[in-house]
Amino acid sequence: MLIKTSDDIKQIKHSGKILAEILEKLSLMAKPGVSTFEIDEVAEKMIMKAGGRPSFKGYMSHHYDPPFPSTICASRNTELVHGIAKKETILKDGDVFSIDIGMEWPAKKGVRGFFTDTAVTLCVGKVYPKTKELLRVTKQALEVGIKSIKPGKSVAEIGKAIEEYVKSQGRYGIIRDLVGHGVGHDVHEDPRIPNYYDKSLDKFILKPGMVLALEPMISLGDWRVKTGDDGWTIEMADGSMCAHYEHTVIVTRHGVEVATRRPNEKKEKI
């Protein structure tokens, strides 16, 4: 796990603030009749205008994988993460729509950029009460995970806090094959941060200067997932509705600071 310097943290905070503002504006576009491609185009333009670079577009998990084609991960309903934005994917009343967005900032030759990552799941028009409750639980699970972070605690305690909260809210699937991660100097860094208790992570102790991407992923059904035909989209294997929220957070001497908090997040209602 890389410890960031005070200068690194300043850059990450600034990057996170820009990205949070971009995501808030994109969220307002999630209405019936809008294509996910339209939202993706706007996302790329805003990132570039801010002096950044989309960190997902062109990303390859392995050298033999096709590069990811979108600026955002645009996932809908039973799609959990890594959905590709497409002209033919039109948002409809009753959909839930996840926007996951990452940025490297600044994007200048000879200058080291810093990565931030954030996501939100949105109701498009009117959704079923059970689905709305899923979004509330997932969003609150993220806040519970954030509140659990303190120097001296372990990474395992984050997952434990999230898991205990979700289980207290009813029967939900806590996805096990996808996890949060370190972030800052790269898109993905160690350690892995599951949304359930993993004893092996008791040894990873949180220290000031660590930067983490927490991202609860919860479903209305089973936790198992599958990869779609496009080779990227991760879907729920049982076809259940799902939700995903994410923030980039910084471990401080006294606790934690959220780098990607959206300006009007406290006022947002599900």
Tell me, yes or no, whether 39 lies in a domain: yes
Tell me if 239 is assigned to some domain: yes
What confidence category does residue 268 fall into, taking pLDDT thresholds of 50, 70 and 90? confident
Which candidate, 145, 150, 260, 235, places its Cα nearest to that of 195? 145
Q: What is the mean pLDDT of the chain?
A: 97
In a domain, 51, yes or no: yes
Per-residue model confidence as pLDDT tens digits over 19-50? 999 999 999 999 999 999 999 999 999 999 99
Strand-strand pairing, 211-214 and 189-193: unpaired
Residue 193 phi, psi (nearest 5): -125, 85
Task: Give the per-residue pLDDT at 112.
Answer: 87
Give 91-121 pLDDT, tens digit per residue: 999 999 999 999 999 999 888 899 999 999 9
How many domains are contained in the chain? 1
The residue with tokens 């939900």 is 172
Q: Which two tokens stand for residue 33?
A: 């009749």
| pLDDT recorded at residue 81 | 98
Decide if 62 is inside a domain: yes
Q: Which helix (H) or strand (E) holds 256?
A: strand 256-258
Q: Give the domain CATH number at 214.
A: 3.90.230.10
Q: What residue numbers bound the domain in which 241 lies?
A: 6-267
- Domain membership of residue 136 (yes or no) is yes
User: Is 266 a residue whose pLDDT tops 90?
Assistant: no
Taking residues 162-184, report their average pLDDT: 98
Whole-number Å distance between alpha carbons of 16 and 249: 9
| 182, two tokens | 């370190």
pLDDT higher than 90, residue 2: no
What was the pLDDT predicted at 267? 83
- Mean pLDDT value of segment 60-70: 89
How confident is residue 1, by pLDDT bands cut at 50, 70 and 90?
Answer: low
Asked if residues 182 and 191 have their Cβ atoms less than 8 Å apart, the reply is yes
Residues found in the chain? 270
Axis crossing angle, helix 155-168 with helix 129-147, rounded to the nearest 10 = 150
